[in-house]
Structure 1
């Protein structure tokens, strides 16, 4: 039936909602019912025509549209896991960018550390990093291209930042690998106890690190570097391809070496303690000695104590994972290397070749 455009039809509240749902394709009986319970109903007159729609009806339409819009946003933007891994946090509450404590002036330079992780494929580097980040062991293996993680600590009233770079994709790119080495403060080298070739690769990487650091610092002999070496997969019952006596003989007794198992946790605590000691960080950075909080709670804590005197030692040690952490650009890393070269009275030129 065709309706005259100049005539206005009166519809009860329920009819308005049904008409709106038919136009939008949404069917929300629960929303409709809750709205009807809160809104007063307009009495239906005896005649079918009125001059306009009531304000109450218009308010109901706006309310329903708002509720449906919120639902569409939730569908379009699914919630992401929080840094603690125990609850879900909506994406609209996460930080808009990565949290860099040094740039924000919330941490001292000596409290910010980059750990570069090197080793052959399938030796367990990713699961060792998962252990440091407070995550569970992952049984299924997926090749790592490149992972960059940032863990932020609040210990004794001070903020600390540890960046972890798993440079797996740089194995076949010497120049990129050398750049990562030159920007690292501490190094974690991993091999598998059942794979001799992976141990040989660690030996090569250790010599490469020493040579690169010596060149950067303008030393005549290979530099002694802060490095922790893990012989992983100690839980395997198969015969070992590398024995402790060989490791000591080849690498030397002064190297921090640990036999670990990322699966059952063997030796992991000791390896993490060694990383903290070599990096000049407090022992509470060890995963077993702090609790994980959300990134929002961490930011509130740091900003709330910024510039406040007498806060040292207050609160339990805690840490948060930066969900938006990304590897700094190669340009940024090159500038960092060049500044370091100039600091040590060397010509400003690229040292990655």
Structure 2
């Protein structure tokens, strides 16, 4: 028999591989692998005429198990956030960008860039801002990007959170992240003096990069908040408040926080909002979390009321975390930076390197 006329599905180990992938992202990879190694291969070879019933049965079985896993993951995320479970059919197919959808203004979209040494608690601080709980287990962060959408006093706001701390070995990439940032959160640990030194260097780097972009002769003033985390470890403390004030100056926005017990975080979040021109209700304690479909209906309903004479109630401040948020491409970030540089007297090449 001609081997080109018969399709053989690689069966060995397929269920073992599927069962070993427990995360949502990993299950998505499994689904893609199955499609690319089986169905796509069959479609790309017109001579393949038949797939055995056993092979089709395995494909359907694994697909069914993947869908069940996806539903359980969605249910778990919904219950952990304390929200009413929403049908996955109503969820958006991709990341929600309010500006692209015409649901907000450019001045209401901000990017917060988070920088600092490893193991200082950046991820847990971001989780607190997103309305989630402290996670004791440490996992190194390659790159985290989150998007939180707010509906406050009839206005829609979008806050992107980029943890770019792992870009220290990629200067051009980190510089691009810095140039696209509107607000900066620099985090060090109060029990680690080296992490404080790194924050001081980062602050100078940000000022120099922004000054070069804006063609300033002196270092630029940047909206940055310095966070000394792990204040709950008072016995291990090696960086004092007076030392921070002496090195960074009295005018810097500095907060001692604990991502573990929550102390100091509220003031820090309010400072971030103030520096970025955001409403005070963007602080986690000042709004309730809703689902993405509920949030979208609020925005669309608000737009509909703007044209009417009788305006309905605005409602309490609320926010939604986009579960499908993805970091914008580097090409779009580069275009954003180039657009900023051309606002000067003449367009010039963006200094990324």
User: 2:346, 2:248 → 1: CA distance?
Assistant: 30
Aligned partners of 1:198, 1:141: CA distance in 2, in Å?
17
- Work out whether 1:138 is the aligned partner of 2:135: yes
Aligned runs of 1:194-205 on 2, under 5 Å? Answer: 194-205=191-202
TM-superposed deviation, 1:74? 4.7
Distance 2:224 2:67 in 1: 46
CA offsets 1:303-331 (integer angstroms, 9 cap, x no match)? 11114226587100000001110000000
**3-state SS in 1 of match to 2:203:** helix
> Pairwise mapping of residues 277-296 of structure 1 onto structure 2 (< 5 A)?
277-296=274-293
Q: Give the match's secondary structure for 1:306.
A: helix
Cα distance in 2, alignment partners of residues 187 and 248 from structure 1: 18
| Change beyond 3 A, Cα 1:183–1:313 | farther
Question: 1:18-69 CA distances to partner (integer Å, 9 max, x unpaired)?
Answer: xxxxxxxxxxxxxxxxxxxxxxxxxxxxxxxxxxxxxxxxxxxxxxxxxx9x
Q: Does the 8 Å contact 1:145/1:169 carry over to 2? A: yes
Q: Which residue of 2 aligns with 1:328?
A: 328
Q: Alpha carbon RMSD of aligned pairs, Å?
A: 2.0
- 1:68-79 mapped onto 2 (5 Å cutoff): 74-75=67-68, 77-79=70-72
Q: Distance in 1 between matches of 2:123 and 2:311?
A: 36
C-alpha deviation, 1:349, in angstroms: 1.3
Indicate if the aligned counterparts of 1:229 and 1:255 stay in contact, CA closer than 8 A.
yes
Specify which of 82, 96, 102 is matched with residue 78 of structure 2.
Answer: 82
Q: Secondary structure at the match of 1:162?
A: strand
CA 352–152 in structure 1, closer or farther in 2 if over 3 Å, else same = same
Paired with 2:218 and 2:79, the residues of 1 have a C-alpha distance of 43
Q: Do the aligned residues in 1 keep the contact of 2:150 with 2:158 (CA within 8 Å)?
A: yes
- Whether the 8 Å contact between 1:77 and 1:91 is mirrored in structure 2 is no
Question: Which of these residues, 235, 238, 243, is aligned with residue 241 of structure 1?
Answer: 238
Specify the alignment match of 1:30 in structure 2: none
- Structure 1 unaligned runs (5+)? 1-67
What residue is the counterpart of 2:187 in the other structure?
A: 190
User: Contact 2:305 / 2:312 at 8 angstroms: preserved in 1?
Assistant: no
Structure 1 76/254 Cα, relative in aligned 2: closer, same or farther at 3 Å? closer
Name the TM-score, length of structure 2 as normaliser.
0.77
Structure with higher helix content: 2
Cα distance change, pair 347–294 in 1 and its aligned pair in 2 (3 A): same
- Provide the C-alpha distance between the structure 2 equivalents of 1:300 and 1:161, rounded to a whole number of angstroms: 16
Contiguous gaps of at least 5 residues in structure 2:
1-60
Whether the 8 Å contact between 1:157 and 1:313 is mirrored in structure 2 is: no
Partner secondary structure for residue 349 of structure 1: coil
CA distance in 2, matches of 1:103, 1:231: 36
SS of the equivalent of 1:297 reads helix
The 8 Å contact of residues 156 and 312 in structure 1, kept in 2 or not, is answered as: no
Greater C-alpha radius of gyration: 1
Q: Does 1:308 align with 2:305?
A: yes
